[in-house]
Amino acid sequence: MLRKWLSIGADFELVFPRDKFNNSTGLAIKPFARFYALNRPEWRLYFESGGGLVYFFDEFPTSNDRDSRLGTRLNGITKYGLGSEVNITSKTYLLAGVRHLHISNGNTSGVERNPSHDSNGFFIGFSYNL
């Protein structure tokens, strides 16, 4: 926590994109900032935004019926969303919320290898305050 209404940190995540074209797993690190609309001693409601890198075990995204381009294993990832933290102990929290993700390699391998991917979804997690 930098202020009562602001914190910064980093997420270390497993990412599981699944649809009728993609079935991959990735490892991501994403620095973020959280802005707290409500900050109570036992729980908090926040808006978050951040971005970082994600490495997929398969090339992502794959070609589909709307775009024949094939993505890459290393991509950038950005996020924004709403979430809540609920205290377990003074240093540990449960997280839950909804967020939007954008995944793209930023044309680092050329436009023919940058189909990008956008998705919305729910998340749950565990946080430890150092």
The model's pLDDT over 57-100, given as tens digits with 9 standing for 90+, comes to 999 998 888 888 889 999 999 999 999 999 999 899 999 999 99
User: What was the pLDDT predicted at 60?
Assistant: 92
Q: Look at 110 and 47; give whichever has higher pLDDT.
A: 47
Decide if 50 contacts 30 (C-beta within 8 A). Answer: yes
Question: Distance between CA 114 and CA 111 in Å, rounded?
Answer: 5
User: What was the pLDDT predicted at 82?
Assistant: 98
pTM of the model: 0.83
Decide if 119 contacts 100 (C-beta within 8 A). Answer: yes
User: What was the pLDDT predicted at 102?
Assistant: 94
Average pLDDT of the residues of the chain: 92
pLDDT grade for 129, boundaries at 50, 70 and 90: confident
User: What was the pLDDT predicted at 89?
Assistant: 94
